[in-house]
Amino acid sequence: MDALVLRGQIVYAPFPKKLTVRPDAYLVAEGGRVADVYDALPEAYAGVRVEDWGDCLIVPGFNDLHVHAPQFPNRGLGMDKELLPWLNAYTFPEEAKFRDEAYARRVYGRFVRELWRVGTTRAAVFATVHAPAARILAELMGEAGLGGFVGKVNMDRNGPDDLIETTGASLAETERFVEGFAEGRVRPILTPRFAPSCTEALMRGLGGMAARRDLPVQSHLSENEGEIAWVRELHPWARDYASVYDAFGLFGQTKTVMAHCVHVTDDEIALMLRRGVYVAHCPFSNLNLASGIAPVRRFLDEGLNVGLGSDVSGGHRLSMTDVMASAVECSKMRWKYVDGRAPLTTAEVLYLATKGGGSFFGRVGSFEPGYAMDCLVVDDARLSDETPRSPEERLERFIYLGDDREIRARYVDGALLSEPRGG
Ligand SMILES: [Zn+2]
């Protein structure tokens, strides 16, 4: 039988409200999918070798719902700027370098190894406009055993000459990029950078492609007030920012994730709910670029799909535990200074980083039966003290104080991932 049995202190978040904790339990997978979690190993698995991780925590792998791989070299730079000046000063000049495939392979190799290191098992990733480089990124993620979506970025206006495509070439290249994918756990995603970078003709073309090929979509929405005013100027006919994407079939007509959503209106939230559009909440980025504090508690209360994104390099760290801690901190500032809605809890941020964002990739991010067997083994002995701590407390401390030194093993679809060679 193709079964995998891990024993340890099992913690996961099938719901936002409460952690499920199963001490000294057996997490069993068959064919890469979770069979169940058991207190005693059922007779049917009697012959299967148990990987006994003792007192280690076993948690679902982390899902990064929004990250820009080509901005990896810019981490921690330009953090004194807002969105639009930051794009021009740092991001666009770096992204132009990905015309060079050898450069792309080196940077993307390091990016993929870092994803592995910090325990991100699936990610929704922006590449650049360059399709060959985006293909290299998808290959490297696939070879590393990681899952997710990779998008060749589209932009045909309002950018530097060396990144702007013609509308026709942007669509044709994207079509070729999508067709070039082999079957696997890394899949293509349509990636209009954001409305200001894309003409209406380009967005219409991409919306058509999404519908024709049933492709998912990722982009940015209402990150910054200057950006929102610009969108209003560019599309005076539109009721709001979300309606621009919606008019062209890029807002939940197929599976869609929008990063940020810091300043969304009531109408936009209602439309996101109707269409099942995901929010990728990126707290580091929202702080660094002084964009604002997204109303995540409201998103959860309203029943929106929400996950977390590192948004490297608007965000300075790729580690989802750091992003989780920042999400709690941001929610406290919003509670205190903006809307009085309760801050996020440890259970809620674990949910957002696992099942909340994971559901964008399928049945991912939980240990319920049928879910992908994506998990991390966390040895937090370095963080311990003189007092015995519950698994909930240990998880919280791992989120706040832990890093890759605590991660002893990473599994995706039941396969143990070895350290990627790249970079
Ligand atoms: Zn972004």
Note the pLDDT of residue 84: 85
Note the pLDDT of residue 131: 97
Domain containing residue 286: CATH number: 3.20.20.140
Q: Calculate how far, in angstroms, residue 35's C-alpha sits from the geometric centre of ligand 1.
A: 36
Q: What is the mean pLDDT of the chain?
A: 97
Q: Interior CA angle at 37 toward 122 and 373, to 5°?
A: 20
Q: Interior CA angle at 83 toward 79 and 84, to 5°?
A: 125
Q: Calculate how far, in angstroms, residue 321's C-alpha sits from the geometric centre of ligand 1.
A: 19
Residue 423, pLDDT > 60, answer: no
Note the pLDDT of residue 215: 98
Note the pLDDT of residue 1: 58
Note the pLDDT of residue 186: 98
Domain boundary among 344, 361, 378: 361
Q: Calculate how far, in angstroms, residue 26's C-alpha sits from the geometric centre of ligand 1.
A: 38
Assess whether 246 and 300 both reside in one domain. yes
Residue 114, pLDDT > 90, answer: yes
Query: What is residue 85's DSSP assignment?
Result: H
Assess whether 392 and 404 both reside in one domain. yes
Assess whether 55 and 129 both reside in one domain. no
Mean pLDDT of 270-285: 98
Asked if 198 and 156 touch (Cβ cutoff 8 Å), the reply is yes
Mean pLDDT of 119-127: 98
How many structural domains comprise the chain? Answer: 2
Please give the distance of CA 206 from its chain centroid, rounded to a whole number: 22
Say if 421 falls within a structural domain. no
Residue 380, pLDDT > 70, answer: yes
Residue with tokens 């939230």: 269
Query: What is residue 418's DSSP assignment?
Result: P
Assess whether 45 and 163 both reside in one domain. no
Assess whether 299 and 227 both reside in one domain. yes
Note the pLDDT of residue 83: 85
Regarding pTM above 0.85, the answer is yes
**Domain of residue 295, residue span:** 62-361
Q: Calculate how far, in angstroms, residue 20's C-alpha sits from the geometric centre of ligand 1.
A: 32
Residue 320, pLDDT > 80, answer: yes
Number of Cβ within a 10 Å radius of residue 74:
21
pLDDT tens profile 15-36: 999 999 999 999 999 999 999 9
Say if 422 falls within a structural domain. no
Assess whether 195 and 267 both reside in one domain. yes
Judged by phi (left if over 0) then psi (alpha if -120 to 50, else beta), residue 377 lies in beta
pLDDT tens profile 64-99: 999 999 999 999 998 888 888 889 999 999 999 999
Q: Calculate how far, in angstroms, residue 172's C-alpha sits from the geometric centre of ligand 1.
A: 24
Residues with CB under 5 A from ligand 1 (ion): 259, 311
Asked if 192 and 216 touch (Cβ cutoff 8 Å), the reply is no
Domain containing residue 387: CATH number: 2.30.40.10
Q: Residues 6 or more apart from 127 whose CB is under 8 A from it? A: 69, 70, 98, 133, 134, 137, 150, 151, 152, 153, 191
The secondary structure of 301-356 as a DSSP string is HHT-EEEE---BTTBS---HHHHHHHHHHHHHHHIIIII-PPPPPHHHHHHIIIII
